[in-house]
Structure 1
């Protein structure tokens, strides 16, 4: 009799243990990852290990309090971790890179994640359906520095803009010179406005990455920056969102892309 009671108690205890284990398993089933840092490391290693992949996305600028929205679509092709094609993007190089279009490469964003891996946090509200979502929020100083670096990389000198415009529209020497003078004056005004803006500028930046739990590869990447500043004494707020979707590089080079000169 005693053995039967002991047996029943053992069964109850084991059932309770299994129930707790099942509950814990259900809690982690949505993410499928031990920790954010490990998931990020596997995703970045996985995408770097691919001989080639493609991406597409958009860059959007909204000015709060107005109806102004500027949106640009783009796509690109990466081979052996080098950006070799882009379409729809300014051919501007990132800081420390000589590759045209590199300022828009998703590798730049992934490197930002990699450098700050210890600060990455899982977004449990968005992590579902076999996808883990990780967030990296930059400090105000990091956000401002990143925005300033990208803005500088995207700027063209008056000479560069004239050369590009002249090639497309076959300007005469006189027309090109007149355009250059106008651009120089406009650039000087812009720099003055930019310096005024920087004195009051604050930036908040959030990087977000979606990871496929089945493949441990990134599916999507997004950077959202909110800028608050004053211009001519008037407070303004802008939000810039850059989003990327990764895909397989099937069929070779993207047919609609413009090859980047090596």
Structure 2
């Protein structure tokens, strides 16, 4: 049962399965590095749809020199005059790399289109060019996986409420994020139109139901692993060397250095 009414995954099951999947992600990473593969994973969804939290769990134990998260800010004045896809091309992976796009070129199909940050002509041009652009990536050997994170109206509203009440996450909601609530129908229509034009057989969109964050994270990671024909690469054989004998070095007195206060002792 994976729909909106699915029973939430118990925490114990989640905490048991997530480390296993993350271990497999490390194996996938080592295969990508050994084979010189190039993997692009696109995470898209509504505001508060949970794609950011899933990206964190995907990247948590990966080598940042191999797997990196790309979350671009709004384009500069110079970038606005470039071919739309140009600023994303420079972030594509080289051999042996994984790139996780936390939002991507699909900004034009969503927020830019709905909020009026691009013209109708620019939006239509994007919808025509995007499948061509992505087929070029695929023909060049890049592995492309795209995930759309879906969240219900009520759950999105509740997540915004919790964020605004949590002092550690109060920075997350922006005025534009909150306006997405009042424009939900427009975002829905934009998403539907985007899928019609860009859901190509060579790289289909995969929808992740995300009212239950634990379920969504497990499902998305498991699907990604199943979609790539990776194999476990034997790690290099390393031996921990013996500590060399003392040569008479003595550490300087502690009072010559400044230490952080022991806050933990006051707990």
TM bucket, shorter chain? under 0.3
Larger RCO, structures 1/2 (Cα 8 Å, 6+ apart): 2
Point out the structure with the larger strand share. Answer: 1
- TM-score where L is the length of structure 2: 0.25
| Structure with bigger gyration radius | 1
Point out the structure with the larger helix share. Answer: 2
